């Protein structure tokens, strides 16, 4: 129901914009379509990867590796995977939802998402080039540690 309300609101606002200035609205829609076209290949490839992963890994395996009962080991696994994975946020959150439905724990997913967003092992060489070795390692190390703090807070709140 809420989603329907948001679509309705967007339609009303788009109509209002179109009535106010047709040229600007058309230009904005063209820019939005271009942005959509640029994002679509990445989005589709990630969806395919998620689909394959969900087909290969059974809910029992996911639950065993990063489920609630996996504890600190599961959080470590999720942290390492999140640290070395380079996927955009708009794909990470649906992936997290799918993993939760398949038996992953809240704390483990919190570590995964936090490290995914804040730790950049893949981008570390570029970070070292611009900020220096010490700053890059310090930032990534603190971000990794803070991801576990976030997970503990989420575990207390949702657990």
- Domains contained in the chain, number: 2
pLDDT tens figures, 29-55: 999 999 989 888 877 877 787 778 778
pLDDT tens figures, 76-104: 999 998 898 877 787 788 888 888 888 88
C-alpha distance from residue 64 to each of 73, 75, 105, 140 (Å): 10, 12, 10, 28
**pLDDT reported for residue 45:** 75
Q: ∠52-57-113 over CA atoms, to 5°?
A: 80
Cα torsion angle, 146, 150, 156, 159, sign: negative
Question: Are residues 128 and 144 both part of a single domain?
Answer: yes
pTM: 0.70
Per-residue confidence at 135, pLDDT binned at 50, 70, 90? very high
User: Which of 13, 34, 56 corresponds to the end of one domain?
Assistant: 56
Q: How many CA atoms lie within 13 A of 116 on its CB side?
A: 22
Q: Which two tokens stand for residue 139?
A: 């930032």
Question: Are residues 5 and 44 both part of a single domain?
Answer: yes
Residue numbers of the domain that contains 48: 1-56
Question: Are residues 63 and 51 both part of a single domain?
Answer: no
């Amino acid at each position: 129901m809420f989603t329907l309300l948001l679509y309705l609101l967007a339609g009303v606002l788009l109509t209002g914009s179109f009535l106010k200035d047709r040229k600007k609205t058309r230009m904005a829609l063209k820019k939005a379509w271009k942005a959509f076209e640029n994002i679509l290949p990445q989005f589709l490839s990630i969806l395919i990867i998620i689909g394959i992963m969900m087909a290969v890994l059974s809910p029992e395996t996911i639950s065993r590796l990063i489920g609630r009962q996996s504890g600190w080991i599961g959080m470590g696994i999720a942290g390492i995977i999140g640290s070395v994975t380079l996927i955009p946020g708009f794909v990470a959150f649906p992936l997290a939802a799918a993993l939760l439905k398949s038996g992953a724990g809240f704390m483990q997913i919190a570590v995964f998402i936090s490290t995914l967003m804040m730790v950049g092992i893949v981008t570390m060489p570029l970070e070292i080039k611009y900020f220096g070795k010490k700053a890059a390692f310090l930032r990534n190390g603190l971000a990794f540690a803070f991801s576990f703090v976030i997970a503990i807070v989420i575990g207390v709140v949702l657990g």
